[in-house]
Amino acid sequence: MAHQFPKRILQEGAETQMDKINNTCRRTLLKAVKVALKDEYEEVLKDPVFGPLLAIIENNLIYSGKIIHSFMCKQLRVSKLHELWFIFAKRPLRFSMQEFYAVTGLKYKEEPDVDFINWKNDKGFWANALKTNAKINLYTIRDELLKVCNEWSYVDRVRLVYLSIIQSFLMAKDWKVYIPQEYIRLVMDFEKLRMYPWGLRAYDELIASILRAREDVHTKNSYVLDGFSYAFQIWIMEAIPDIGSMVGK
């Protein structure tokens, strides 16, 4: 007797065609950051936590909406915390925090003994931004900060690179969304920055976006996918190595 899986969001053969997935990972911003802050970018590229994220851009991985949409249509209706399930060729595939970690290397365990709240005031640009509760988004970085940051300290320019990666690529926020003060506090101490459970935060953001987007799979010919969807695509490509040729990149 064949094993009974939970229902799919779309039955086999009823998959929709998608004109476009609006991916919010802002590679163009990071390319501008690399041009303006070459040395600082190279330093972050060597970072054991954030360097592998930049390597995705450096290796020119092409974002494939077709690959992602093909799997969005194969999603199973499963209500489990920190887990999504898909079915491919009658085989169930899990995308949980463990799989996200395997792809990104980003830690997902909390560090209750680490003080992520307090920070040292070095009287630089970002310290002042924290003191004044400055409103900074990706537009601010692109149109203003990259033009004046050569007047800052070296460490503040490195912080700008980190914040650009976090906001535009890892959390993949809209251009207009302000960078949380929490993230600015974290870049004030690079050791704490690396200890923060970015995997948990980024995974939860991505999963919430996938769950929102799946409601549009039935009715719309395009939808927005927030969060670090490159990790989702890499997982799919590793789970099904021939997926690109199957769906047509």
Residue type, 133: N
**pLDDT at res. 248:** 53
Of 235, 190, 237, residue with least CA distance to 94? 235
Q: How confident is the model at residue 17 (pLDDT cuts 50, 70, 90)?
A: low
CA distances from 89 to 71, 114, 234 (A): 12, 45, 19
Is there a contact between 84 and 207 (Cβ–Cβ < 8 Å)?
yes
Highest mean pLDDT among 2-16, 98-112, 205-219: 98-112
pLDDT digits (tens, 9 = 90+) for 4-16: 666 665 555 545 5
pLDDT digits (tens, 9 = 90+) for 133-192: 999 999 999 999 999 999 999 999 999 999 999 999 999 999 999 999 999 999 999 999
Mean pLDDT, to the nearest integer, of 19-25? 71
Q: How confident is the model at residue 70 (pLDDT cuts 50, 70, 90)?
A: confident
**pLDDT at res. 213:** 80
pLDDT at 231 over 60: yes
For 156, counting Cβ atoms within 10 Å of its Cβ (0-12 exposed, 13-18 middle, 19+ buried), the class is: buried
**pLDDT at res. 117:** 94
**pLDDT at res. 42:** 97
Express the helix, strand and coil content of the chain in percent, nearest 5 each.
50, 10, 40
Q: How confident is the model at residue 2 (pLDDT cuts 50, 70, 90)?
A: very low
Domain-wise residue ranges, the chain: 1-25+63-110+209-249, 26-50+113-196
**pLDDT at res. 16:** 53
Q: Within a 10 A sphere around the Cβ of 43, how many other Cβ atoms? A: 15
Q: What is the mean pLDDT of the chain?
A: 87
Q: Within a 10 A sphere around the Cβ of 34, how many other Cβ atoms? A: 19
Is there a contact between 228 and 25 (Cβ–Cβ < 8 Å)?
yes
Mean pLDDT, to the nearest integer, of 237-246? 76
Q: Give the separation between CA 19 and CA 64, rounded to whole angstroms.
A: 12
Residue spans of alpha helices (H) in the chain: 27-36, 38-45, 51-58, 65-72, 97-104, 125-131, 138-140, 146-148, 154-165, 181-187, 190-195, 198-213, 229-239, 243-247
pLDDT digits (tens, 9 = 90+) for 75-93: 887 767 788 988 888 888 9
**pLDDT at res. 242:** 74
Q: Give the least confident one: 5-14, 23-32, 35-44, 126-135.
A: 5-14
